[in-house]
A and B are shown apart, each in its own frame.
Chain A
Amino acid sequence: MTETRDVAPPATDGGEPPDGSEFGVGDGSDDGPRIEFRGGKWASTVPLVFFIAWAIFQSGVLGIGGPDGLVVGALVGTILGLFLVRGNWKTYADAIFEGMTQRVAATAIVAWLWAGMFADTLQVGGFVEGLIFAADALNVGAATFPAAAFILCGLLATGIGTGYGATIAFVTLFFPAGVLIGANPVLLFAAILSGAVFGDNLAPVSDTTIVSAVTQDADIGGVVASRFKYAIAAAIPAFAAYLIAGAAMAGASLEGSAALREAATATGLVHLISMGVVIATAVAGRHIVEAVSWGIVVAVAFNLAFGLSSVSDIVAFTVTETGQFTSLPFVVVGETAGVGGSLYTGAIGFFPLIVLTLLIVSMAQIMIRGGGFAAIQELLLNRVATTVRRAELTMVLGTATINGMITINTAAEIAIAPYVARIGEKFNINGYRRANILDANTSALGYIFPWAGGVLVGYQVMIGEGGLRAEYGLDAMVVNPIEVVPYVFHGWFLLAIFVVAAITGFGREYIPDRASEEVSRA
């Protein structure tokens, strides 16, 4: 096949012309000071390897979720590496700062802050309740409840970008109603997790989508458009599987439709438009900051215009005593002074992940400066990824393996991203394709295994203090996480599709095929 290539320089958004150097660290072996380690170049991997071991122990073995604890693991690992440095420790310390100031980290951080504000504004605006209204209006029964949960949770996760948030919202509100109607609890929980996978994978405001795009030099809108084919190819059979399994596994009705109806609010569905605004503007090639800013404006306007939330639900200054400013809609009296509202909680919710990201990229930089990164890369390229097909399989299975172990999936994604970039580039695999391979397993594996962060947050809603078991007094309200593993259909299908895609070349694009839009547009 001979194809004429249209090579345009990467588009810019009016800022400085891109030269690529601000997005990466270069070769590492020849464009900066090297760090000499006792034990050679492999010793430079100690900080990151220690961190991965910590992450496996914390999340995989002990089942403790959340990035907060991982921050400590990264700090301890970074300190351990310091003692292995031969000679002056300054180059090691410099590498930490060098890593933290990379454009790739800053881009992800900015996108997360915006995405967090948007997500929480949708939440306080009754988006979940709107989706529940849709389920009620469609008269969803026990057999079709899991399939409906998959679609609606997928919509929510695509809108708010956080699969964890969507899981918590749906397990809290949707799951008990489904169980009371007679849907199989295991299948229903798995369907909710599948919806979370779908949104985490596809949403332009998803943390994993953002990381996958910016680490592979691709714009977020283009990445979302290019991964649509994989997401739909997995979602359609997953939906069918939930319909079939739902009919086969439905239980007895416990009269739950009333509970479902109580939570329903039709007007919350207007946030489908807020979500659509972000997706459409991002895919149209606008900067993600611009796209999400428009989404926030539209969501806030809908919240206030339709009475879905108050001003203080969005921005609130809480004071302890009534005063001259408490008549303002965004100043409220409470027990503790502080700032709150969806814009605040949405942005601040990403703070631990932001700190963790800075530490992970600095550990990666230490590996690059110490020669460990190049050593692993050479090993993979010389022994494993010797053809383009094997390279893609290495990328698929490598991301699957590390995400299966580190269950806080964004952390795993950041750790493996440099390898996906370099192995892919060695075969001129396009940035969109690399981003899609990276994110598919990151999303899927984060919601399948019993130690996965997505599963744990949903399980916590069931068993936690004042959780579903306590509230309803029913054992059926608690699902053993191990039981859901085979039923997270969308996750499994997404993984399978990428294995098949790597083998058959489905969706494969090379760098000469098309240039990613300028990455600072993200």
Chain B
Amino acid sequence: MSVFDKFLAGFSFRGSTPDYAVGDTIEVMVTGREGDAVGGGTAVARVGDSTLRIEDAPTDAVNTRVVVDVESWDGSGHRGVGTYRETVGESAF
């Protein structure tokens, strides 16, 4: 990203439900799990008020930053499903 782009980044009004397309590869923070309450279930990343279920994520993925391939996306419900690729970081705290 150029220096000029750094100044312009985010210079817009951004909605609360971002949408993604099938085939997108995105980096997200895993924010929780869906399904079984105790330790199981599918990893989920809440991005704004949109939700991405992440298949094949490690069991300890919550609060880690992971790269995900988006496999499907429901634009009206702002929900999608993706596949875990790799872990690239953790929570700041």
Which residues of A line the B interface, CB within 8 A? 1-5, 7, 9-10, 18-21, 23-27, 104, 215-217, 221-222, 225-226, 228-229, 283-284, 368, 387-389, 417-418, 421-422, 425-433, 504-515
Q: How far is the CB of B74 from chain A (nearest CB, A)?
A: 12
A131–B11 alpha-carbon span in the complex (Å)? 31
Q: Are B47 and A512 in contact (CB under 8 A)?
A: yes
Which B residues touch A229, using CB under 8 A? 7, 10-11
Is B77 in the interface zone, CB < 8 Å from A? no
A222–B9 alpha-carbon span in the complex (Å)? 10
Q: Give per-residue flags for B64-93: 1 if the beta carbon is below 8 A from chain A beta carbons, else 0.
A: 110100000001000000000000111111
Of the candidates B6, B24, B45, the one whose C-beta lies within 8 Å of that of A283 is B6
Which A residues touch B10, using CB under 8 A? 226, 229, 430, 432-433, 507-509, 513
Of the candidates B13, B19, B67, B89, the one whose C-beta lies within 8 Å of that of A20 is B89
Q: Which residue of B has the minimal Cβ distance to A18? A: B89
Which A residues touch B75, using CB under 8 A? 2
A247–B38 alpha-carbon span in the complex (Å)? 66
Q: Given the known inter-chain contacts A428-B31, A507-B10, A511-B47, please indicate yes or no for A23 contacting B92, CB distance below 8 A.
A: yes
28 A-B pairs within 8 Å (CB atoms) are namely: A2-B20, A2-B24, A7-B27, A21-B90, A23-B92, A24-B92, A26-B90, A221-B6, A222-B6, A225-B6, A225-B7, A229-B7, A368-B93, A388-B48, A418-B93, A425-B92, A426-B29, A426-B32, A427-B46, A427-B49, A428-B29, A432-B10, A433-B10, A507-B10, A510-B14, A511-B28, A514-B1, A514-B9
A389–B48 alpha-carbon span in the complex (Å)? 8
Q: Are B92 and A5 in contact (CB under 8 A)?
A: no
Is B42 in the interface zone, CB < 8 Å from A? no
Which B residues touch A515, using CB under 8 A? 27
Q: How far is the CB of B43 from chain A (nearest CB, A)?
A: 13
Q: Which residue of A has the minimal Cβ distance to B17? A: A388
Q: How far is the CB of B85 from chain A (nearest CB, A)?
A: 9
Q: Are A226 and B6 in contact (CB under 8 A)?
A: yes
Q: How far is the CB of B13 from chain A (nearest CB, A)?
A: 5
Q: Are B15 and A1 in contact (CB under 8 A)?
A: yes
Task: Using C-beta atoms within 8 Å of the partner chain, give the interface range for chain B.
Answer: 35 or more
Q: Are A1 and B18 in contact (CB under 8 A)?
A: yes
Q: Given the known inter-chain contacts A24-B92, A229-B10, please indicate yes or no for A1 contacting B47, CB distance below 8 A.
A: no
Q: Given the known inter-chain contacts A428-B31, A505-B14, please indicate yes or no for A9 contacting B88, CB distance below 8 A.
A: yes
- Identify the 6 closest CB pairs spanning chains A and B, nearest first: A20-B89, A225-B6, A20-B90, A508-B14, A512-B26, A421-B92
Which B residues touch A284, using CB under 8 A? 3
Which A residues touch B20, using CB under 8 A? 2-3, 5, 512
Q: How far is the CB of A421 from chain B (nearest CB, A)?
A: 4
Of the candidates B27, B31, B91, the one whose C-beta lies within 8 Å of that of A24 is B91
A255–B19 alpha-carbon span in the complex (Å)? 63
Which A residues touch B14, using CB under 8 A? 505-510
A507–B6 alpha-carbon span in the complex (Å)? 12
A246–B77 alpha-carbon span in the complex (Å)? 53
Q: Given the known inter-chain contacts A226-B10, A228-B7, A428-B46, please indicate yes or no for A421 contacting B29, CB distance below 8 A.
A: no
Q: Are A505 and B3 in contact (CB under 8 A)?
A: no
Which B residues touch A9, using CB under 8 A? 88
Q: Are B29 and A511 in contact (CB under 8 A)?
A: yes
Q: Which residue of A has the minimal Cβ distance to B46? A: A427
Q: How far is the CB of B53 from chain A (nearest CB, A)?
A: 14
Q: Are B93 and A215 in contact (CB under 8 A)?
A: yes
Q: How far is the CB of A218 from chain B (nearest CB, A)?
A: 9
A389–B13 alpha-carbon span in the complex (Å)? 12
